[in-house]
Structures are given as C-alpha cells and as structure tokens.
Amino acid sequence: IMAARPITLGIDLGTTSVKAALLRAAPDEPSGFAVLASCARAARAEAAVESAGAGPQGREQDVSRILQALHECLAALPRQQLRSIVGIGVSGQMHGVVFWKTGQGCEWIEGGITPVFEPRAVSHLVTWQDGRCSSEFLASLPQPKSHLSVATGFGCATIFWLLKYCPESLKSYDAAGTIHDYVVAMLCGLPRPLMSDQNAASWGYFNTQSQSWNVEILRSSGFPVHLLPDIAEPGSVAGRTSHMWFEIPEGTEVGVALGDLQASVYSCMTQRTDAVLNISTSVQLAASMPSGFQPGETPDPTAPVAYFPYFGRTYLGVAASLNGGNVLATFVHMLVQWMADLGLEVEESTVYSCMIQAAVQQRDTHLTITPTVLGERHLPDQLASVTRISSSDLSLGHVTRALCRGIVQNLHSMLPIQQLQEWGVERVMGSGSALSRNEVLKQEVQRAFPLPVSFGQDVDAAVGAALVMLRRHLNQKES
C-alpha cells in the first residue's frame, strides 16, 4: 500500500479576503503538488480608525473580523484531510502593523466544535493602505541604513507616527508584528513574535544584507525598539501549534510568516525566467534577480522598482503599484453612488459583471485613463486623470476597457518589457484575485507584454505558503 502522502495547509491573510488551501505531494504532476481543496472568505474587516489625528487617510482593520474569516475558511475545508496535516504555512498583507500584549494576545475558547482563538489585548491592524504619514512627516524621520525606503503604511513609519501623536496608545502593548506574524505567534503561543526578513523589509529600517534592524538609528530617535520582532529565515519553522485547531493535531509545525507577494511568486514561478504579475487589491510585477545580486546600500524613494528579499538570500525585482483591483472597486462604488443619487438601487456585484461584459465586447478605445487614484510610493502626490475624451468613447465598455488598460499600462511604465527581457524573463505568469476573475485585465496583460502569458488561480499566496512547508517536510524525510 502506498504510504499516505503528506498534506500541508496554507493560509493567506489578505487585505480584502482570507484564503486557505490544502496541498498534497503529487510526484506525477509537473508542479510536484496537487491542490486538494481551497477556500476564500471576504474579511470585511475595515474599521473606524482608533488613533485620534490619523484623519480620513487612516486605514485600520479589526483583527477579530480577520480571525472570524479565517475560522470560516478552515470550517469549510474537509475535516478528514485536516487531521493529516504535517505543516502550516502562513502569508499575508505586508507592511501593516498590529500590537498586542505578550501572553494576553488571545484566548483559546474550548467547548465549540473545535478550540478557536479570539483576540484579547490586541490593537487594530494599521494596514499598508494607511495614509496618515504625510510626505513632510516622512521627511522628518531618520535616514534608514537599508536599500528600501520608508513609505506611509510601513510598520516602522506607523510606529514613529504613533510615538509622536498617540504615545499613550503604545504603552498598553509590548509586542508587534504583521497580522500574519500575530496569527503564527498565537497558534504557537510564542513568547516573542518571530518575523521573516520578507516582512521585516516591508516595515522599513531593516538591513537585508546584515539581516538586522537599524537598532542604533531607531533608538537614537526614541523609537520603541523593544517592539521589533526577532528575525527568522523564511521557510524555517516558527513553532508548533499549542492546541488542536479544526482537527489539525496539536504540535503541528507552523512556518514563520511570509510576505504575500513572495508566497504568490513561489507558487507560480516554475522557472527562474518567469516573471509573476499579481493583480489583487494592489499590483506587483516581480522577476527573479540573478544569484549573487546585491541591492545598493541606500534607498532611492523615486525609483519605481524595489528589491524584495525572496528565499535562500535571493531577491525579486518588484514594481509594486498601489493601484489595482482597488481602483476597479472605487469605480464600481462611484457608479453605485451615482445610481443612488439618481434614486436607483443596484448591487455592486451586478455593476461589476455588467461592466466587464461591456468591456469584453469593446475590444479597443482611444480613451486614456491614468488610474493612480491612490498615488504611488515613488510618486505619493500623483492623482488619476482621464484624457482623450471624445463623444464616441463614453460607453461603459469604453470606460471599463480604458480603466483596465490603464492599470496594466501604469505597471508597465514602472517596469517595462525591455527591462524584463534584460533580466532574462521569457514568460509572464498572471496571478491574483482581480486578474483571475477579469477577462478584460487578462486581455490587457497579453496586449502589454508580448511574451507567452499564463494565468493561475486566486489562492496563489495560500498555495505558496503551503508549498514552502510541503517541500520542507519532503526534504526532511529524504535527509
């Protein structure tokens, strides 16, 4: 009888949804694995901003809502397979920060169908979309000793802001991390949070070469350095589950949390010559840098391409645009709002499918939309614009086609095809929820990138996190 093949669970705590995927080793598949089951649940976690003074630019999420969506996801997975899990991989939205009190971050509630943990002494998650740090405020911060610059929504910038404007709020907590670092710490009952260099780099003030925080620079500016997590290698184990959890045995290995971009890329990039284009709430285009590549010593905040730590001390060259599926959502919301102003009620989901349908029919347009409603990290003050408006290009199909084209063109302007080809890219792998559900975006990607393009699923980051743990388990068994 063939020995039962190991199963791993991947969890991705995204901006708008939580996803989970179960993977099993499948030696006969070209990828070496098969997705047994997956699930996605809307997080609906946007919350009123706790910190006074953050203004309308503040973006925060309620941790209990995120955990609720996570528990709904796990409850939907086949219980029999959950019993056989040998490892849990976790990824999530980078840059954000959540605070908690050591030993009181959560409470395990027994007595239901399964023990679950609920947040206790925990702050809101201040997300990567938070805009409270103005350009002037960022300019007042010390210069990092890192190749990555610091932008609004980055964990260390947010902590500096709280230190200046809400110092009281920091006093209740003694631990911090991304939302996925928090979940790993709670699952394993870690006394101190652990963070991979992928997430540490996303906070700012982290040097990837020395694998350490800029402690001296931060300390001399009065930064609460005791909040900075310890660093662990991505792909390493953070701990073991402290309770049985949805049939998953107590003592199951949990990997240190990964960045969602790196996890997505890991699930899609089968060759070093693949670039991965991920369009979900925001957009990233990532390619593998040659081994031995080292980024410069100092940050260039105006450069559209940044170098993110990947696995095995390698780097990804990344164009990360703030304008992706969120721009389409803003457009849909605008239409629904206009309809309401006209006394008509319509569901956002109806508007979305109608406009995609209309744009599929409308293959081309002269209308040009620069979609940067949210600015870009390298151009924080840029806004969106619509140009070349003629009376014949005003249908919903024209406008939606132009908007989708604009999203892809904006990314292409940050990281042009010529640059990708110089890096040896031969194929583009498309991934992410906004791309997998939008035929028009797919067409525009194929139009902008004259290379072979193939498309994945919308649970890629969860699959990537599970795959890291699966390969780890298989390598251990071999050795």
Per-position DSSP letters for 351-366, written without gaps between them: HHHHHHHHHHH----S
Cα dihedral sign for 300, 303, 306, 307? Answer: negative
Last residue of a domain, one of 236, 263, 290: 263
Residue 192's domain spans which residues?
A: 7-263
Together in a domain, 70 and 163: yes
Q: Which of 226, 236, 257 is nearest to 102 (CA)?
A: 226
Tell me the pTM. Answer: 0.93
Q: Residue 364: which CATH number? A: 3.30.420.40
Let me know whether 194 and 283 are in one domain: no
In a domain, 461, yes or no: no
CA–CA gap between residue 302 and residue 322 (Å, rounded)? 15
Cα four-point dihedral sign 30, 36, 42, 45: negative
Both 22 and 65 in one domain: the answer is yes
| Sign of torsion over alpha carbons 315, 88, 320, 127 | negative
**Same structural domain, 237 and 308:** no
Predicted confidence pLDDT, tens digits, the chain (479 residues): 345 789 999 999 999 999 999 999 998 888 889 999 999 999 999 999 988 889 899 999 999 999 999 999 999 999 999 999 999 999 999 999 999 999 999 999 998 889 999 999 999 999 999 999 999 999 999 999 999 999 999 999 999 999 999 999 999 999 999 999 999 999 999 999 999 999 999 999 999 999 999 999 999 999 999 999 999 999 999 999 999 999 999 999 999 999 999 999 999 998 999 999 999 999 999 999 988 899 988 888 889 999 999 999 999 999 999 999 999 999 999 999 999 999 999 999 999 999 999 999 999 999 999 999 999 999 988 999 999 999 999 999 999 999 999 999 999 999 999 999 999 999 999 998 899 899 999 999 999 999 999 987 767 899 999 999 999 999 998 87
Do 251 and 297 share a domain, yes or no?
Answer: no
Query: Does residue 295 lie within any of the structural domains?
Result: yes
119 and 140 share one domain: yes
Question: How many domains are there within the chain?
Answer: 2
| Interacting residues of 168 by C-beta distance below 8 A, sequence separation 6+ | none
Q: Among 233, 263, 293, which residue terminates a domain?
A: 263
